[in-house]
Amino acid sequence: MKKLISVEEAVAKIKDGMTIMVGGFLSAGSANKILADLDKSNVKDLTIICNDAAYVDKGDGMLISAKKVKKLIASHIGTNPSAIEQFHNKEMEIQFVPQGTLAECIRAAGAGLGGVLTPTGIGTIMEEGKEKITVDGKEYLLEKPIHADVALLGANIADENGNLIYKGTTQNFNPMMATAADLVIAEVQKIVKTGEIPMEQVHTPALFVDYMVQA
């Protein structure tokens, strides 16, 4: 299968109402070119799963500012005034998830697990409506797996097969999101010949990557 596609082809695969995972931390490690073109499209009513709401003019923050997002599942929104305003005005639903819990719930979806047991949130509003399970006398919240229709990843290097490398902290949520979506599109800065990336340096194997866009 031909994995390298244009940004326009990538955007065309995202439809109204889809649930989209966006890798990155404040847009570092995000598929920023795809997100910028998605911002210009007519797509709407998206559910976005990301660590944060990024900035008004960067990353998934652009989609939020353009009011293309009906629901955001994230750890924090403080860097995006538009997200805060829409939350207060009840224009966008926000499901706050502690950062570690978010990572583990995505990982659970990729691993085919039924959920994650965590003490985080016990005794707070985070436990409302959630099942509690006691293990060895200690209470845990059952946090269910988080899955998406599409994952948009930002990678630094890929080979022609789609094996990915993320440099530094841009790795963040990308590897686990690659395992937890039906369709995975990676935006990459540099593409090399297959075999040029040592196997032990691959962060996301090509098996998980459906398409790539040259950044």
Per-residue pLDDT of 59-99, as tens digits, reads 999 999 999 999 999 999 999 999 999 999 999 999 999 99
Distance, C-alpha 137 to centroid of its chain: 35
Q: Residue 164 is inside which H or E element, if any?
A: strand 164-165
The Cα–Cα gap between 198 and 1 comes to 22
- Of 40, 55, 25, the C-alpha closest to 153 is 25
Cβ proximity of 13 and 39 under 8 Å: no
Boundaries of every domain in the chain: 4-97+146-194+201-214, 99-143
pLDDT score at 1: 56
pLDDT score at 2: 84
Distance, C-alpha 195 to centroid of its chain: 28
The Cα–Cα gap between 124 and 127 comes to 6
- Of 68, 65, 58, 1, the C-alpha closest to 26 is 58
CATH architecture under which domain 4-97+146-194+201-214 falls: 3-Layer(aba) Sandwich (3.40)
pLDDT at 188 over 80: yes
For tokens 């797996």, the residue is: 145
Exposed/middle/buried for residue 108 (C-beta within 10 Å: 0-12, 13-18, 19+): buried
pTM of the model: 0.95
